[in-house]
Amino acid sequence: SYRKGGYHAVRVGDSFSGGRYIAQRKLGWGEFSTVWLAYDTQSSGFVALKIQKSAPQFAQAALHEIEVLSAIANGDQSNSKYVVRLIDHFKHTGPNGQHICMVFEFLGDSLLRLIKHNHYKGLELNKVREICKCVLTGLDYLHGGLGIVHTDLKPENILLLTTINATKDPIRSGMTPILERPEGNPNGGVTMNIIEKKLKQRARRAAARISGRRSSMGGVGGTPKSNRSLDGIDLRCKVVDFGNACWEDKQFAQEIQTRQYRSPEVILQSGYSFSADMWSLACIAFELATGEMMFTPKGGEGFSEDEDHLAMKMELLGKIPRKIAVGGARSKDYFDRHGDLKRIRRLKYGCLDKLLVNKYRFSESDAHEFTEFLSPLLDFEPEKRPTAEQCLQHPWLNFKNQKQTEVKNESGVERVNIGMSKLQIKVGK
């Protein structure tokens, strides 16, 4: 993809926008761009520099993203709404063409990284709460404040404010900025990446050798599968990636959202609004708490991925009301006139709180409370889902881990701190 119309090859020390930004290291990439950690010589701080591919359709997409991001930044002068901030944008001409560049505040690892780091084990519910509060604050601002639908909420598109590994964080690690291309190193761009990859491979092999040795000495081999400590990691996060976002009253695509986070109204093509993001949020909260995606549909013999997806939703959440099932432009492809799936007949109904207890080993009370929070967001009727603003008021978000806060007294009453107020819970003998 490093050819005409594609990515721009960057070398460490390359400068952008008349010398203002200097590339430090690659942070990530997507279908549209590469993203680099850069040093901003004007503010003397680190930023994320997104360099878009140069072909016209990518430039078009970047201009749209900048329009949305500018509205977001203009409406949030205090930068406190948990949505990524666009700092600057400009054009950069290179051998592959002209690339639109966006400069963002530097953020840390994605929630997907966090889930992997935790070995797909599920985070403590208090951490899930913290994350949900940030995302909901961001969504309340986007939906209520600006009329923007994100349309692609998923763990990859929510970034922590810090990196999990402190040595990767330029600020916490006290990194001194590189101000020019390293002397005597003609390797850059793509070549540099190959060298980096080889070094990483070597480190991985060395690590594997060490753990192998340990296991042959009778210890536990491989990486420990216990929850890795997340102590000291501030789990605040921000919503990113507005490449697919739209205004509620100015939509571009019929098919939105990444498969696993896609709402029923989008599958049925019944029209969508802010509530489609709320469905995705529920899927993300479930994934954070259990370590597994809520729905992973697959097409099979005689039925499509969409039909499998609809069947899975009904098996977990109950039957889709007939009115909703038959109400979309694509309803006839999947449902008969009674509102039953045409090609998947026998559904195995279950329910969310039982799943949390039986499969994910939640306590009955944790499962019950979490389900009370999630279920309204997973209403098949989009209009019935709570808004982000309403959701922020939900008591579940303000429960504290009872182990940390319970105080037993002699009359058998526990006091559990719930936010600012105190709630009394009777304890049975």
- Is 152 marked active-site? yes
Which of 236, 234, 235, 238 minimizes the C-alpha distance to 76?
A: 238
Q: For residue 91, give the nearest of 82, 81, 83, 100 by alpha carbon.
A: 100
Using the rule CB under 5 A, is 241 a contact of Mg ion? Answer: yes
Please identify which residue in the block is written with the tokens 């936010």.
419
* Among 16, 104, 362, 399, interactor with ligand ATP by CB under 6 A: 104
The whole-angstrom separation of Cα 167 and Cα 109 is: 13
Residue 155 binds to Mg ion (criterion: CB under 5 A): no
CA 232 to chain centre: 20
**Choosing from 14, 109, 152, 169, which is the catalytic residue?**
152
Binding of Mg ion by 243 (CB under 5 A):
yes
Collapsing DSSP to helix, strand or coil, 314 comes out as: helix
Using CB positions, name the residue nearest to Mg ion: 243
Q: Which stretch binds ligand ATP (CB under 6 A): 26-34, 167-175, 380-388, 396-404?
A: 26-34
Q: Please say whether the dihedral angle defined by the alpha carbons of residues 139, 135, 158 and 281, taken in this order, is positive or negative.
A: negative
Site string for ligand ATP, 217-246 (x = CB under 6 A): -----------------------xx-x---
- The answer to whether 311 touches 347, Cβ cutoff 8 Å, is yes
Asked if 109 interacts with Mg ion (CB under 5 A), we say: no
Binding flag, residue 88, ligand ATP (CB under 6 A): no
Could you say which DSSP state residue 14 is in?
A: -
Tell me how far apart the alpha carbons of residues 85 and 107 are, in angstroms, rounded to a whole number.
10
Is the Cβ of residue 46 or residue 286 nearer to ligand ATP in the bound state? 46
Of positions 9, 87, 107, 135, contacts ligand ATP by CB under 6 A = 107
Q: Which of residues 15-74 bind Mg ion (CB under 5 A)?
A: 30
Buried/exposed 195-211: b ≥16 CB within 10 Å, e otherwise: eeeeeeeeeeeeeeeee
Please check whether residue 52 is in contact with residue 101, taking contact to mean a CB–CB distance below 8 angstroms: yes
Contacting ligand ATP (CB under 6 A), which of 31, 249, 255, 383?
31
d(CA 349, CA 318): 7
Is residue 26 marked as binding?
Answer: no
Which of ligand ATP, Mg ion, none interacts with 48 (beta carbon under 5 to 8 A by kind)? ligand ATP
Binding site for Mg ion (CB under 5 A): 30, 241, 243
Q: What are the catalytic residues? A: 152
Binding site for ligand ATP (CB under 6 A): 27-33, 35, 48, 50, 84, 104, 106-107, 110, 156, 159, 240-241, 243
